[in-house]
Structure 1
Amino acid sequence: MTVGDQPEPSPPDGWATVDVRASSLNHHEIWSLRGVGLPADRLPMILGCDASGVDADGNEVVVYPVIDDPDDPRGFSLLSERWPGTLAERVAVPAANLVPKPAGISFLDAACLPTAWLTAYHMLTTRGRVSDAESVLVQGAGGGVATAAVVLGLALGKRVYATSRDAAKREKITELGAVAVEPGGRLPERVGVVIESVGAPTFEHSLKCSAPGARIVVCGATGGPFPKVDLRRVFMMQLEILGSTMGTAAELATLLELCVDRDIRPVIDSTYGFSAIGDAFARLNSGDIFGKVAVDHLH
């Protein structure tokens, strides 16, 4: 990864250019650097999915990073997979991907929402139907999605339990208002929704902590994609195992309004100036983070 000059965006019809004020990092960028989903014939590629900024008309906007892509098996691709990403002075996206930024939220906070926080919101609401649940378990809190799920679960009025191997992170979970649990630890109740991004190391625990009819919503498998699943528990307890990826632009708009209305702000682990992007990546890759690594493009 290097920092350098690339050509100015030349957006096609129906696209818009945004002057980026802030962005944030996701593990998607780490995978891209390892060559996952980013073949050599697309290099050099500007990384980054998340951004907030100002469009050509002076509107403050948040960039929704999902772009329709019939050539991708998913039917979409994210910025930095096929089209240049957000870790730049300017980024081009379809005009429909610009979501108005409410005045009550900063560029830096808004830039933390489009991937990790939107994923967590979609998992809880659309996929997990958390409105039908009293309590939520979040596995592996510390990263962006899991930490977002803790904050949003609490904001939506649910009892939230969250696991972490790290005692310091469990302390931070408690400070957010959730109940911190050691990995594999017994909960005082079975939960209606499980937010699962770890995979093999935690999935058996997720199954055992699920109430009858619970939804286990999966957005990742950072600890391994092949857990042992006791299918007897799945059918006897009538559990749902649901995949989830990202969310919609309309959900991002709703999430922004929720953050303003409930005075919620993203948990930011650390903020780096644009010139220190290498240090930001090193921090993300360290595994020690709690929340989002943000990038202030004005410094």
Structure 2
Amino acid sequence: MNVLVVTDPFSDTAAIKAQMTAAGFSTESVVYVKSARALMDALLIHRCDVIVAEYAIANMDIWRLSTLINSLRFSTQPRPTFLLKETCEIDIPLLLAKEYGFTVVSIDDLAGRLIAVREPGNGRFGGAMNPARHSVLIIEDDKDASLTACHALKDLYDVDVADDGLSGYELWEAKHHDLVLLDLMLPNLSGEDILSNMIVINKHQSVIIVTALDKPRLQHKLLLNGASEYLCKPFSLDALKALCQKLLNKSKLLHQAHYAEAKLNAIRNRVWLLDYALSQNEGDRVKEIMASLKGMLPNNLTEDEKISLIAREF
């Protein structure tokens, strides 16, 4: 198995190389690239089974990088892609990472994830072969109802099923599914308690309450407490499919907005630090902050745009 490692030109790759050695990769099976052009050349020239990437290289961030990797020109074969968590300025929403086809992993865990990818039967481990395939958890003690819902959704999503509240919540804790279909009357742990616990951990978690209790007051209470939708039994499977897709689309937009806000706040903080460092004539600090800003806002300006900016009066 061959690995392509994409890093910033100024990055220290010693920790990554140590993980490659720990995973049993020889020097000949790992290719390091430090620009978008070098990445494209490597994808065309070398057989690449796995990609390991930093958040940003000289002129491209992970979102554009993933789009490039998954484009028709380079995606002749599916390949897991790992983003190194330590290189991210802010947290990456897992739902968006899945949408773009990469997995966030810490450097210390990289060797283990690469070994798992190499094992037979784990071809899908660590990277989304189908970036648009989301995960759904059904927590329902009525086996007929859960089986019907599972069959209706399994061709569209990766579906897990639990038949009691405690095992369902533990399964969610382990995987943090993109969408949860939650019954209320459950053994061991009630649906209301599960909802409360989920929302404390992830306020953006999409949850559809699926119940035979058609009570407006209860519906309003659960929606106020974080549920996304309230679906009364019996319901049509077409309605269920449509609602699932609607909520996943909405969740993606919410995560994009949250990520954009977090990124804007991080840039604002660095601009203030840059201004302060300039006022104190801290040249080395200025360079450090500018490098951080470039990582968050990759420089993809054309030469004409650069000339126009230089000539511009503020």
Fold match by TM threshold 0.5: no
Q: Which has the higher helix share?
A: 2
Q: Which has the larger radius of gyration?
A: 2
Higher RCO (CA-CA < 8 Å; seq separation 6+): 1
**How high is the TM-score relative to the length of structure 1?**
0.28
